[in-house]
Amino acid sequence: MTTERAGRCLCGDIRYRLTADPIVARICWCRDCQHLSSNGTVNVLVPSAAIELSGTPAEFGSTADSGNGVRRRFCARCGSHLFADSTGRLGLTVVRVGTLDEASSVRPGANIWSASAPAWACLDPALERVEAQPSPPKPPPPSPSPSQQTP
Ligand SMILES: [Zn+2]
Ligand SMILES: [Zn+2]
């Protein structure tokens, strides 16, 4: 059963509901996230269509460390970052967990971009650690051609 979640920016001008459960929850230590938040960001990935939005966020587009184009959405009044959409994962949207009414309702499973984390960062050793951008889901690789096989 899907647990509906609600969230908002700091001032409340932007409110949202998530009508699907998160696909994944992670802590991101890319330099862009550190600029935004002064720390790693805790994020869930949800189907973009599962976000019911009230209010109109401002937007900022840039190229991420991964090379993907990223559109970030935030409240123009209070500055809270809420969402990010990447050309590397069309149809899915990153939601900043700190803006959820119940941030404890999700549990991060991995630290990503861990190689960019500052020396003082606290990374739970029990969580999976990915040094940079995790690979998006891919079909299995083709079997090697005969010339590449070891005799
Ligand atoms: Zn706001
Ligand atoms: Zn990041």
Which ligand number lies closest to the CA of residue 75?
1
Q: Which residues of the chain have pLDDT under 70?
A: 136-151
Residue ranges near ligand 1 (ion) with Cβ within 5 Å: 9, 11, 13, 75, 77-78
User: What's the pLDDT score for residue 43?
Assistant: 97
User: What's the pLDDT score for residue 137?
Assistant: 45
* Cα distance between residue 83 and residue 94, in whole Å: 5
Which ligand number lies closest to the CA of residue 79?
1
Domains of the chain (ranges; CATH) run: 5-133 (2.170.150.70)
User: What's the pLDDT score for residue 3?
Assistant: 87
Which ligand number lies closest to the CA of residue 111?
2
Which ligand number lies closest to the CA of residue 57?
1
Condensed to tens digits (0 to 9), the pLDDT of residues 28-42 reads 999 999 999 999 999
| Residue 44: alpha-carbon gap to chain centroid | 5
Condensed to tens digits (0 to 9), the pLDDT of residues 110-124 reads 999 999 999 999 999
134 alpha carbon to ligand 1 midpoint, in Å? 31
4 to each of 8, 14, 18, 77, 105, how far by Cα in Å?
Answer: 14, 17, 6, 26, 10
